[in-house]
Amino acid sequence: MHIHAYEKLWLAASVMLILLLVGSVTYGAIGPGVAMVADSEPTIDAGGLDEDERFSEPRVEQVGENEYEAYVVSFQFGFQPDPIVVPENSTVTFYVTSRDVIHGFEVAGTNANTMVVPGEVSEIKVEVEEPQEYGLICNEYCGAGHHAMEGKVNVVSQAEYEDRTSGGDSE
Partner 1 sequence: MSEAIEAERTFYDKFPKEARIVRAAFLSSFLALILGAIFGIIQTLHRTDVARIIPSTDYYTVLTAHGVFLVISFTIFFLVGLFTWAVVRSLDRPLLNTKITWTWYALMAVGMTMTGVSILAGFTDAIDMSADVLFTFYAPLQAHPLFYTGLAVFIVGSWIAGADWFRTWLAWKRENPDERIPLQTFMVLTTMAMWYIASSAVAASVLIFLLPWSLGLIDQVNPTLTRTLFWFFGHPVVYFWLMPAYMLWYTVLPKIAGGRLFSDPLARVVFVLFLLLSTPVGIHHQYLDPGIAEGFKFISMTNTMFLLLPSLLTAFTVVASVEYGARQRGGSGLLGWLTDLPWRKPEFTGMMLAGLMFAAGGFSGMVNAGMNINYMIHNTIWVPGHFHLTVGTAVALTFMAATYWIWPQITNKPIYSRTIGLVQVVVWFIGMALMSNAMHAQGIMGVPRRTAEPEYSGFEYATMFGGFEELNIQIAIGGTLLFVSTVLFIGNLVLTMGNPKVSGLADPLPPALSGPNDSPKVLDNLRLWVGIALTLVVLAYALPLAAIIQRGGLLGPGVGTYPVWLSPALDALANTAVSAFGAVGDASASLVEVIR
Partner 2 sequence: MGRNETAHASADDVSGDTEEFDPIGTLTLIGIYFVILVLAWVYIYYIEFLGRDLVVVG
Nearer to partner 2, 46 or 126 (CB): 126
Least distance in Å: CB of 143 to partner 2?
27
Angle at 109 between CA 128 and CA 33, to 5 degrees: 50
Could you give the CA distance from residue 24 to residue 31 in angstroms, rounded to a whole number? 10
Q: Which of 143, 94, 92, 145 is nearest to 115 (CA)?
A: 94
Nearer to partner 1, 15 or 159 (CB): 15
Active-site hit among 55, 75, 79, 105: 75
Residue from 84, 86, 142, 155 touching partner 1 (CB under 8 A): that is 142
75 is catalytic: yes
Residue from 55, 84, 85, 106 touching partner 1 (CB under 8 A): that is 106
**159 contacts partner 1 (rule: CB under 8 A):** no
Q: Count other C-beta atoms under 10 Å from residue 18's C-beta.
A: 10
Scan residues 51-70 and list those touching partner 1 (CB under 8 A).
none
Active site residues: 75, 77
